[in-house]
């Protein structure tokens, strides 16, 4: 008798293991880098005009490799502008790795990082319960599990996003 398939959605470690395997055997990150070069500049072209601070929400930021690429593009477009980069990421291990990447990256003086160790749904629920609203200039969720993303919508998190990079 065939064994029932284990769902990746209930096993975060296995999910990340599978994602790493997928990255190693696909052109995912190369495609993402191409997107950064070709499409992102026009997406971020209007998010920070005249602002003293840019608020970014990364949903499922993982270990931060792609987030740091995005931040470098935003820094280049808006030199010297303060960037408040909030990251929703349920995996403590991924947040730890993200912090390591930040520590190993130079030129991040104008970026303030805030990590929220929870799912998008938990974040959204907490914000609602605390009656907090925050406006975002840019929200992205890249390769974050779809089933769970029914839980999050830019509208539901009370946002005013100008550009959303969404794939996967």
Ligand X SMILES: C[S@@+](CC[C@H](N)C(=O)[O-])C[C@H]1O[C@@H](n2cnc3c(N)ncnc32)[C@H](O)[C@@H]1O
User: In the complex, which residues of this chain contact ligand X (CB under 6 A)?
Assistant: 12, 19, 59-62, 65-66, 88-91, 94, 119-120, 142-145, 148
**Pick 68 or 83: Cβ nearer ligand X:** 68
- The CB-of-11 to ligand X minimum distance in angstroms stands at 11
Between 78 and 123, name the residue whose CB sits nearer to ligand X. Answer: 123
Residue linked to tokens 């935003």: 74
CB 94, min distance to ligand X, A: 4
* DSSP 8-class letter at 150: T
Shortest gap between Cβ of 50 and ligand X (angstroms)?
A: 29
The DSSP secondary structure of 69-111, one letter per residue, reads HHHHHHHHHSTT-EEEEEEE---HHHHHHHHHHHHT-SS-TTE
**Distant-in-sequence, close-in-space partners of 130: CB < 8 Å, separation ≥ 6:** none
Q: How far is the CB of 69 from ligand X (least distance, A)?
A: 9
Query: Strand pairing of 138-141 and 111-116?
Result: unpaired
How far apart are the C-alpha atoms of 26 and 28, rounded to whole Å? Answer: 5
Query: What one-character DSSP code corresponds to residue 7?
Result: P
Shortest CB 1 distance to ligand X, Å: 31
Q: Do the beta carbons of residue 44 and residue 137 sit within 8 Å?
A: no
Torsion region of 158: left, alpha or beta (phi above 0 gives left; psi -120 to 50 gives alpha): left
Nearer CB in complex with ligand X: 49/128: 128
Pick between residue 90 and residue 154 the one whose CB is nearest to ligand X: 90
Minimum CB distance to ligand X smaller for 16 or for 108: 16
């Amino acid at each position: 008798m065939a064994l029932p398939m284990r769902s990746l959605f209930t096993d975060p470690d296995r999910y990340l293991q599978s994602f790493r395997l997928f990255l190693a055997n696909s052109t995912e990150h190369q495609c993402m880098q191409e997107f950064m070069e070709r499409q992102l500049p026009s997406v971020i072209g209007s998010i920070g005009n005249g602002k003293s601070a840019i608020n970014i929400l990364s949903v499922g930021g993982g270990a931060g490799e792609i987030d740091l690429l995005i931040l470098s593009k935003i820094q280049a477009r808006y030199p010297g502008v303060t960037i408040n980069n909030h990251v929703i990421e349920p995996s403590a291990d991924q947040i730890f790795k993200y912090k390591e990447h930040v520590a190993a990256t130079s030129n991040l003086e104008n970026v303030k990082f805030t990590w929220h160790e929870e799912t998008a749904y938990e974040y959204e629920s907490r914000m609602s319960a605390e009656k907090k609203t925050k406006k975002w200039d840019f929200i992205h969720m890249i390769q974050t599990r779809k089933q769970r993303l029914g839980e999050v919508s830019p509208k539901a998190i009370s946002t005013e996003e100008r550009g959303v990079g969404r794939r996967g």
